[in-house]
Amino acid sequence: MSSVRRNKFKVVIVTGVPGVGKTTVLSLAQRKANERGLKLKVLNFGDYMLENAVKKGLLSNRDQIRYLSFRGQLELQAAAATAMVEEAGRELSERDFLMVDTHAVVKTPLGYLPGLPSHVITILKPDMIVLVEADPKEIAARQQRDSTRYRSDFGGEEGVREIIEMSRYAAMASAVEVGSLVTIIRNAEGKAGEAAEQLINMISKL
Ligand code: ATP
Ligand code: AMP
Ligand code: MG
């Protein structure tokens, strides 16, 4: 038997600075993939953390998760990763893709929390970790324009630049731990469709 540990289905983790457009690109990618006969199950890591945190009466809003206690966030991460893989395992076959919408780092008041530490990455066992990137100035502008979310604590253009840098280090470290590809995809201004296209082209060759 192979000593390479994988999940039965393919796993692609999509990361990037808050507001860069992960959720937008994944939603477009899912639609385009369907048209090509590829099955993508897109799950948002924050949804799973939020559901448990709400059940525990800790908060009511996804932008409060990064303000929870450090150890509390570690517990929520572990539970989220386990639940996602279980759910995907009930639906997906070898040919299908679990796409995880998440973060390589989370900026918390005490410091950068790795989004894919050992207790998460060894459960997800991704084939590919994608870093969605864009010009820091454009990301800061997207954060400001989007009134559906609270993103004013990321430090503007300079803060975004630092999160991009930390995310690259973190993604690579997680990739080394389980053996994953790390792929950068640019989500240029007004071109989310092209980013989605590029994402599908990449994963379809896995
Ligand atoms: P978070 O990590 O906080 O969930 P995200 O990376 O999922 O953020 P989105 O919610 O997808 O980001 O997008 C943030 C905002 O940027 C939205 O208003 C979205 O419409 C816009 N946006 C996404 N992609 C682009 C693009 N290529 N050009 C311009 N605006 C974009
Ligand atoms: P999102 O909608 O992607 O911004 O997710 C909502 C929130 O969930 C994020 O702002 C983080 O606080 C939290 N979150 C998402 N993914 C992770 C992760 N892998 N590790 C820790 N926290 C995460
Ligand atoms: Mg999102």
* pLDDT tens per residue, range 132-190: 999 999 999 999 999 999 999 999 999 999 999 999 999 999 999 999 999 999 999 99
Ligand nearest to C-alpha 26: 1
Ligand 2, residue 102: give the atom nearest the CA: 16
| Residues in the 5 Å CB sphere of ion ligand 3 | 23
Residues linked to residue 108 through DSSP beta bridges, in sequence order: 111
Summarised one tens digit per residue, pLDDT across range 107-125 is: 999 999 999 999 999 999 9
Pick the closest to residue 43 from 107, 112, 90 (CA basis). Answer: 90
Sign of CA dihedral 16, 183, 47, 176: negative
Decide: 143 in ligand 2 pocket, CB within 6 A.
no
99 with 40: CB under 8 angstroms?
yes
Report the C-alpha dihedral over residues 112, 170, 9, 28, rounded to 10 degrees: 70
pLDDT at 1: 59
Note the pTM of the prediction, 2 decimals.
0.98
Summarised one tens digit per residue, pLDDT across range 76-106 is: 999 999 999 999 999 999 999 999 999 999 9
Ligand 2, residue 101: give the atom nearest the CA: 3
Pairing of strands 97-101, 10-16: parallel
Decide: 134 in ligand 2 pocket, CB within 6 A.
no
